[in-house]
Amino acid sequence: MSARIRLGAMGWQEKDWIGPFYPRDTTPKAMLAQYARSLPTVEVDSSFYGRPRQTTVDEWAGAVPDDFRFALKVPREVTHRRRFEDAGEVFKLFVDRVRTLGVKLGPILLQCPPDFKPNASNRSRLFEFLEMQLPDDVRVALELRDAQWFDDALFALAREHRFAIVAAESERFDVASAADVVKRQLGNVDFLYVRWMGPEPFEHYDRVQVDRSAALAQWTTIIAQARSDVSEIFGYVSDDYAGHAPGTVRELLGRLGENAPPDITTPSLF
């Protein structure tokens, strides 16, 4: 088995991409369809702020081909406000809505707050939620932003309930830490979910502005070694990682021996 690699950006509505990524006459309404001509997946951040309307979901689905996949953040009402307590109904309504994407639905992302520490109360609420609320037909990825969460009990729960634990390179986790999260899941889950974050925003996002080649070389090895153990690898790059997410995605695809879309033309400082 060799995993299908689906790499994309965190969002598609960046106006600074017009020119270096989108044709110069691209309108905001046409951005998603244009994006989907180049990349096979996108992480949707807007759903974090509230369950998308059915008309919005229908518009998204209509703009992309059947082979495209949306990964959507679960609303903050579940993760940040209720912090997984009495959140089952809100979560179910969200899942029911995004499930209408059909084959175009990728994983949904449960992103925990940065201050969600692995104390007894939080651990109890999170584990009960994961045991009771996860749907059988929708893939779920869990992002925890405190390394103390990553113990044997968490990985055992992930194995039992078949959810992925996000491996993220960020100001909190270096590549080695993220690689360990990947390795501890191999053989236990059907897919991986990777995120590349940056420490601070850039003024503009029209070009690659930070040399991440050393980290990307490490990621190339990590992903290549994981391909035989899962069916799909989803990965999403923030513009804040190197200054221009499409450019980073293109570099990763090239390093992995995947075909980089020919219509991505990304300037770089390097």
pLDDT tens figures, 184-243: 999 999 999 999 999 889 999 999 999 999 999 999 999 999 999 999 999 999 999 999
Query: pLDDT tier at 270 (50, 70, 90 boundaries)?
Result: very low
| Whole-number Å distance between alpha carbons of 168 and 190 | 18
**How many H-runs (helices) and E-runs (strands) does the chain carry?**
10, 9
Give the CATH superfamily of 4-255.
Protein of unknown function UPF0759 (3.20.20.410)
Question: What is the mean pLDDT of the segment spanning 84-100?
Answer: 98
Domain locations in the chain?
Answer: 4-255
Tell me the C-alpha distance between 116 and 138, whole Å: 24
Going through 89-162 in order, the beta strands assigned E by DSSP cover: 105-111, 140-143
Band (pLDDT 50/70/90 cuts) for residue 263 is: very low
- The model carries a pTM of 0.95
Cα angle 216, 195, 38; round to 5: 75
Q: Tell me the pLDDT tens digit for each residue of 6-65.
A: 999 999 999 999 999 999 999 999 999 999 999 999 999 999 999 999 999 999 999 999
